[in-house]
A = this chain, B = another copy of it.
């Protein structure tokens, strides 16, 4: 029992440190030695959990990035009766909670995709899967919104989910590229405008 728990916490510690290093410096510029030096773990233990640096990268995509995306963009929607309102409020909260350093670093999923998709097809497929899940889960909430009468009847939940996720992801990319967090207000206003236009409610109480 306890040994399993220790193993899990060692593995999690490696993943947590690796995420921070790779988010700041990129996957290729981060070395196993650099990660090990920031943990209480030996290099032997590292290779026990992750036989290669790529295995570590795959686990980051499958577990850390996927969970982070769900925690940030999808799970908060459960707290809202109207998912359309939930999406607009979640976007605003996330933008406001993002530090200047995070804004200048951009979205970790987009960064890793840009860096590694052309280099390694396994990586590409795993990162794609996170983005796809983001769209699929958003679609489920929008489908529920439609069934509950919160969407205009002619709105396709899949279309709206694909566009909304593009806005969520594209906003972080553009804010990083511009280096001007004030622009977030326009991006929020635009996203809100779009969500209101597909909504059946006049007042989203935002």
Name the B residues within 8 Å of A173 (CB-CB).
Answer: 110, 169-170, 173
CA distance in complex: A170, B198 (Å) = 20
Please, which residue of chain B has its CB at the minimum distance from the CB of A114? B114
CA distance in complex: A30, B154 (Å) = 49
Interface residues of A in 127-150 (CB under 8 A from B): 127-128, 131-132
Name the B residues within 8 Å of A178 (CB-CB).
Answer: 128, 131-132
CA distance in complex: A101, B189 (Å) = 34
Name the B residues within 8 Å of A162 (CB-CB).
Answer: 183, 186-187, 190
Residue from A114, A189, A196 having most chain B Cβ neighbours under 10 A: A114
Give min CB distance, A187 to chain B, whole Å. 6
Q: What is the oligomeric copy number?
A: 2
From the candidates B114, B160, B174, B197, name the one contacting A169 in the complex (CB within 8 A).
B174
Name the B residues within 8 Å of A114 (CB-CB).
Answer: 106, 111, 114-115
A200 within 8 A of B: no
A70 within 8 A of B: no
CA distance in complex: A156, B189 (Å) = 10
Q: Are A110 and B171 in contact (CB under 8 A)?
A: no
Name the B residues within 8 Å of A185 (CB-CB).
Answer: 159
Name the B residues within 8 Å of A158 (CB-CB).
Answer: 186
Q: Are B177 and A190 in contact (CB under 8 A)?
A: no
CA distance in complex: A6, B196 (Å) = 56
Give min CB distance, A194 to chain B, whole Å. 5
* Residues of A that sit less than 8 Å from B by CB: 106, 110-111, 113-115, 117, 124, 127-128, 131-132, 156, 158-160, 162-167, 169-171, 173-174, 176-179, 183, 185-187, 189-191, 193-194, 196-198
15 contacts between A and B (CB under 8 A): A106-B114, A114-B115, A117-B176, A117-B177, A158-B186, A160-B186, A162-B186, A162-B187, A163-B187, A166-B174, A167-B170, A167-B190, A170-B173, A173-B173, A193-B198
